[in-house]
């Protein structure tokens, strides 16, 4: 059985890993230059900053078994944030080392944006055509809807009602390279500030030798300023965290706009099958959400075959 998976984020890689272990022939396609999706680490000159997911929790035995395996290879590490009681986990050398490690044992093709689904094949922007018996799609639902519309797929009322249950919030992320690390206790702080929700010191986190910080805007601020001039927004966000990061300490900065960051409303099951088609949807829009929810979504979908 040929299975194509769209998306090499946590959900797609988790499904691919489960299916490969069960002996299925699986190909994962991703539009980006690298794997990981929102588990993202950016290199800025010789510095690194996690600018998507910052850390994750491990609540289930299924996810624990992957994390224990990664921990023994020093891919993950524990992170104790002063404002959080329970231990959190990170990629020891950056969040994207986790999906990179998972992908290393799988058949993954990057720079392959799927633009069309037609007669049990997917077509990518580069012109390649991949036949499938089953298709697993793991990107955020608004992007799935765009793909279905391009493919002129007719959906049932049930399909549409499942889609309408899932919502994501945007997040503006500023990354700044610093001269010196910050004095933020434990390297991460959750703020009540109106514009900024979170600051991480990536040096204290242990992922970079050159100090950097990641600053995440609040949901309300991200919604309000998403399409505004990026340099103005960056300046505004940096000035609002001046008490933690003095402007004289900043060497350079970059900003990334995540249109879909966390799924704030989700479909309660771990995955969903499009009615009367061999097409399945998974990702953090299903189940418990976040990194662990994306893992579980892919894991349970993969186990269903």
Q: Does 90 bind ligand FAD (CB under 6 A)?
A: no
Beta-strand ranges (E) seen in the chain are: 2-6, 25-29, 41-44, 47-50, 76-79, 88-91, 108-109, 114-118, 121-124, 129-131, 134-137, 167-168, 171-178, 188-190, 196-201, 212-217, 250-258, 263-265, 272-273, 279-281
Residue number, 140 or 211, with CB nearest to ligand FAD: 140
Stretch that binds ligand FAD, among 156-164, 187-195, 265-273, 288-296 (CB under 6 A): 288-296
Stretch touching ligand FAD by CB under 6 A, among 127-135, 177-185, 223-231, 254-262: 254-262
**Interface segment toward ligand FAD; rule CB under 6 A; list 58-66, 178-186, 255-263, 265-273:** 255-263
Site for ligand FAD (CB under 6 A): which residue of 3, 4, 5, 7?
7
List residues bridging with 263 in a β-sheet.
Answer: 168
| 56 vs 130 by CB, closer to ligand FAD | 56
Closest separation in Å from C-beta 180 to ligand FAD: 25
17 binds ligand FAD per the rule CB under 6 A: no
The answer for residues whose C-beta is within 8 angstroms of residue 297's C-beta and 6 or more apart is 11, 14, 15, 138, 270, 271, 282, 283, 284, 286, 287
To the nearest whole angstrom, how small is the minimum distance from the Cβ of residue 258 to ligand FAD? 4
Instruction: Please give the residues from 135 up to 194 whose contact with ligand FAD meets the rule CB under 6 A.
Output: 138-140, 143, 147, 171, 173
Number of residues that bind ligand FAD (CB under 6 A): 37
How far is residue 281's CA from residue 271's CA, in Å, rounded to a whole number? Answer: 6
For residues 136 and 298, give the distance between their C-alpha atoms in angstroms, rounded to a whole number: 9
Neighbours of 195 (CB within 10 A): 20
SS3 140: coil
Return the range that interacts with ligand FAD (CB under 6 A); candidates 2-10, 67-75, 76-84, 177-185.
Answer: 2-10
Question: Of 39, 141, 238, 281, which lies in the binding site for ligand FAD, with binding defined by CB under 6 A?
Answer: 39
């Amino acid at each position: 059985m040929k299975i194509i998976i769209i998306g090499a984020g946590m959900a797609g890689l988790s499904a691919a890993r489960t299916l490969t272990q069960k002996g299925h022939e699986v190909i994962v396609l991703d539009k980006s230059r690298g794997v990981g999706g929102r588990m993202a680490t950016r290199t800025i000159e010789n510095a690194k900053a996690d600018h998507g997911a910052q850390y994750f929790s491990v609540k289930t035995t299924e996810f624990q078994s992957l994390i224990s395996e990664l921990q023994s290879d020093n891919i993950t590490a524990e992170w104790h944030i002063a404002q959080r009681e329970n231990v959190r986990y990170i990629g020891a050398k950056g969040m994207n080392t986790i999906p990179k490690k998972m992908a290393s044992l799988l058949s993954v093709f990057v720079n392959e944006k799927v633009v069309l689904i037609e007669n049990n094949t997917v077509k990518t922007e580069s012109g390649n055509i991949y036949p499938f018996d089953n298709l697993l799609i793991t990107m955020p639902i608004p992007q799935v809807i765009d793909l279905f519309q391009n493919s002129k797929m007719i959906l049932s009322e049930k399909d549409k009602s499942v889609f309408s249950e899932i919502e994501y919030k945007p997040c503006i992320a500023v990354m700044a390279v610093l001269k010196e690390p910050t004095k933020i206790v434990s390297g991460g702080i959750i703020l009540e500030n109106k514009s900024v929700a979170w600051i991480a010191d990536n040096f204290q986190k242990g992922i970079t030798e050159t100090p950097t910080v990641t600053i995440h805007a609040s949901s309300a601020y991200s919604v309000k300023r998403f399409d505004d001039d990026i340099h103005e927004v960056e300046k505004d966000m940096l000035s609002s965290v001046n008490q933690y990061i003095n402007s004289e300490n900043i060497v350079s900065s970059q900003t990334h706009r995540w249109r879909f960051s966390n799924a704030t409303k989700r479909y309660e099951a771990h995955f969903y099958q499009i009615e009367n088609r061999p097409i399945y949807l998974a990702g953090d829009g299903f189940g418990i959400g976040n990194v662990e929810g994306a893992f579980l979504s892919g894991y349970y979908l993969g186990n269903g075959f």
